[in-house]
């Protein structure tokens, strides 16, 4: 079945460092891809998404490009802030099953001042 694999955390960076969180997927069809962010004790918030190959999603300085040839959707940010500390989830949607989301295990990011 479809699946998502993302790099394990926790990831610890200094403020203004470059961030990459790797995400690869396995899917039989052409899924849409998402990055969600979760702050402690809260629900998930959509960070960005891409619905077809070569699309780039971007928001708040984060970006990710849908790469069909490498089945990847890596999250990047050029300069992280302390406020970016959170857990980041990569997900794909399975439109053959009511649009359910299949999540990676999450990557915890901690940014130190």
Partner 1 sequence: DGGITQSPKYLFRKEGQNVTLSCEQNLNHDAMYWYRQDPGQGLRLIYYSQIVNDFQKGDIAEGYSVSREKKESFPLTVTSAQKNPTAFYLCASSITGQGATQYFGPGTRLLVL
Return residues touching partner 1 (CB under 8 A). Answer: 4, 32, 34, 36, 41-46, 49, 51, 89, 91, 93, 95, 97-101, 103-106
Least separation in angstroms between CB 102 and partner 1: 8
- Judged by beta carbon, residue 80 or residue 89, the one nearer partner 1 is 89
Query: In angstroms, rounded to a whole number, what is the distance separating the alpha carbons of residues 19 and 2?
Result: 26
Closest distance to partner 1 from the beta carbon of 37 (Å): 11
Of 99 and 113, the one with the shorter C-beta distance to partner 1 is 99
CB closer to partner 1 out of 12 and 79 = 12
* CB 61 to partner 1: min, Å: 20
How many of the other CB atoms lie within 10 Å of CB of 70? 8
Please say which residue, 40 or 113, places its beta carbon nearer to partner 1: 40
Output the DSSP codes for the chain: --EEEE--S-EEEETT--EEE-EEEE-SS--EEEEEEE-TTS-EEEEEEE-STT-EEEETTEEEE-BTTTTB--EEESS--GGG-EEEEEEEEEGGGTTEEEE---EEEEEE-
> Least distance (Å) from partner 1 to the CB of residue 104?
6
């Amino acid at each position: 079945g479809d699946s998502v694999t993302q790099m394990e955390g926790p990831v610890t960076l200094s403020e203004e460092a470059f961030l990459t969180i790797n995400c690869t997927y396995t899917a039989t069809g052409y899924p849409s891809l998402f990055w969600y962010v979760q702050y402690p004790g809260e629900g998930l918030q959509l960070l960005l998404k891409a619905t077809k190959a070569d699309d780039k999603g971007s928001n708040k300085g984060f970006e990710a490009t849908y790469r069909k040839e490498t089945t990847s959707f890596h999250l990047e940010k050029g300069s992280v802030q302390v406020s970016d500390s959170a857990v980041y989830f990569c997900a794909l949607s399975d439109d053959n099953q009511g649009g359910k989301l299949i999540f990676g295990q999450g990557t915890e990011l901690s940014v130190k001042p």
